[in-house]
Structure 1
Amino acid sequence: MVARHDLATDPGLQEELLQARRGTAFFARKLNELTDAELDAGTRLPGWTRRHVVAHVGYNARAIARLVEWAATGVETPMYASPEARNQEINFGATLSPIALRNLFDHSAVHLSVEWRDLPDANWANDVRTAQGRTVPASETVWMRTREVWIHAVDLDNGATFNDIPAPVLERLLKDITGAWKTRGTDAGLLVKVMGTAGNGAGLTFGDTTAADPTIITGALPAVVEWAAGRGNSGVTAAGPGAPTQEVPAAPAWI
């Protein structure tokens, strides 16, 4: 008999599941505000229409659900057969009729939520492998989805901004992004400082903290994450050798 509530009992994981579902609901709201004709418009992602973003978010839910199924059964079920297959899937999804595209998002989101709901406590620690080849516990799938729905709700370019994303999500995003830079060594000479009010990331510092004369990027948490994620530089300032005219340099590649 299937569960009617999440089998996970860890309070931290329950909070993460709530944040992922809130992000899904937020994306759904921004999508539902769009008419069918408006799905053809561009987004904050170069080369992608809103159709591409919706298709990506829908198929991403299916891919993450495959990882949860892997954790539940022990049978390896990769997110995608290949990077090429993933791209083909998104391009195909973008050609669907508006009602089919909306159904793809709705049904895939429900499917993923049910897979999470029915995963027993012990299985959340089971290892799965992401599309980037990282081996992670199944619990990481919740963050993977949280990141997708909140950021891509903004990418729909339908009024959502990084200010709409909860501060805990923004902080974790910034840690993820700057961590990826550090792993690749692309943060050399770059210091990122978050300014603002307590509880909104004030005082956070990321990047090359050992640089003698770094390029310093400063701004409130939402603006800094927007810049770091490659979505714009409104609300951030730059100073130092990498910004001699105080122009804000592009952030290093994240993904």
Structure 2
Amino acid sequence: MADRLVDEAEWIRRCAQWSEHPEREKFPPGEGQVTLTIDEQDPKNPTEDRFTSKRFHKALSVTLNSVGFRSEPDGCGQGPETTGRRRGGPNPGRSTAKERGRGYGAVSGEPVRGRTDTGRRHAMTYDGSAGPAALLPLLRTSVERLHVSARALTDEDVRAPSLLPGWSRAHVLTHIARSADSRSRLLVAARTGAGLAQYDDEAQREREIEEGAGRRAAELAADLRGALGGFLTAAAAHPDAAWEVPVRWLGAGTRPVRRAVGSLLREVEVHHTDLRCGHRPADWPPFFVARELATTAAGLRERDDVPGMVLVADEDRVLRPVGDGRGPRVSGPAAALLGWLTGRAGGHGLTLDPPGPLPDVPAWRS
């Protein structure tokens, strides 16, 4: 038996030599036969339901915990005269309306010559099935990063302009806080049946922002922490059966309250960037980027003012046609694509096929 094992081992060795140097040695003819016997039954496909909420939440938790977040409050805690240029982006103090974001399209007209970004690529993880409770851990992490930036701001800093035209950093911080409060009202409405709306009207929303924007930095940071903490507490205690209850959204009619968590995550991440504190689209969590890129592309397909193009993220290479889908293919990191589509980045890191200027993207609707 031992001699046979030696012979078979020698035969395998000579076969390996032949595969590496076929010109030196012919395949050894008739020098033994190797039979592999596996004492296991043939594999069978499982018959039970393998996709369960327990498995999904466990996988999502692993995904979220594996993402390395960082907070770089560049410009926060400094006066506006020393903030300088954002790395990888335009000078926020001199940015055009298109570059600043809300209500404006992304930068267009500049030829894209090639991608220079060499940063890490994260896998796309969003499949559309994440429920509100599953998004709460990610929202908590995003909120804590925002608090770090808000605490670093001085009274002088909060008076400085944000990336949004006509708004200071104080306006942005107040807006985020009131957005959290408005969603807390919707949770109460869904849970109790009270006829509460997100806002009475657009005028109420604008009035609350203007009234709160004149406060000092410490007051703004404390208000932000209280409003976001209140929402997180209410959302964590919200009954599972009440997430589908329809409530009255400003500008969106009656829709399920389940949108509250995901939409607040969008408010926190995107407006954190608007603070000009060094929080760039490249810092947005990969799961958030995947989720928002999917919903943003879907929204653009429903509009008739969008030029034809195909969006392709490096992470998944999925073709996302928008407009009539007959224009150029715009490729790059998912965060760069989303930053460009939302007007929070100028398209650095994106490539076009055929080469040319970035299409003129219409105003982003959050």
TM-score, with structure 2 as normaliser = 0.61
State the partner residue of 1:232.
345
- Of residues 281, 284, 308 in structure 2, which corresponds to 1:162? 281
Residues 220 and 236 in structure 1, CA contact (< 8 A), matched pair in contact too: yes
Please list every run of 5 or more consecutive structure 1 residues that lacks an aligned counterpart in the other structure. 1-8, 196-200
Amino acid at match of 1:216: R
Residues 217 and 238 in structure 1, CA contact (< 8 A), matched pair in contact too: yes
Distance 1:39 1:209 in 2: 39
Shift of 1:239: 4.4
Instruction: Report Cα offsets for 1:42-87 as digits up to 9, x if no partner.
Output: 2222221111110100100001111111111111211111112211
Please list every run of 5 or more consecutive structure 2 residues that lacks an aligned counterpart in the other structure. 1-53, 58-130
State the partner residue of 1:87.
206
Amino acid at match of 1:248: L
Matched residue count: 237
State the partner residue of 1:249.
359
1:125-144 matches, within 5 Å, as 125-144=244-263
Q: Which moved more, 1:163-172 or 1:50-59?
A: 163-172
For CA contacts below 8 A with separation 6 or more, give which structure has more relative contact order. Answer: 2
Amino acid at match of 1:170: V
Residues 178 and 209 in structure 2, CA contact (< 8 A), matched pair in contact too: yes
Amino acid at match of 2:240: D
Q: Secondary structure at the match of 2:265?
A: helix
Instruction: Report Cα offsets for 1:11-43 as digits up to 9, x if no partner.
Output: 454321111111111111121222222111122
Amino acid at match of 2:318: L
Residues 309 and 322 in structure 2, CA contact (< 8 A), matched pair in contact too: yes
Distance 2:160 2:272 in 1: 14
Distance 2:181 2:279 in 1: 24
Q: Secondary structure at the match of 2:264?
A: helix
Q: Secondary structure at the match of 2:310?
A: strand
- Of residues 216, 219, 244 in structure 2, which corresponds to 1:97? 216
Distance 2:323 2:185 in 1: 39
1:55-204 matches, within 5 Å, as 55-195=174-314, 201-204=315-318
Shift of 1:143: 0.2
Shift of 1:188: 4.5
Distance 1:209 1:87 in 2: 32
Shift of 1:235: 1.9
Q: Secondary structure at the match of 1:125?
A: coil
State the partner residue of 2:133.
14
Larger radius of gyration: 2
CA RMSD of aligned residues (A): 2.1
State the partner residue of 1:221.
334
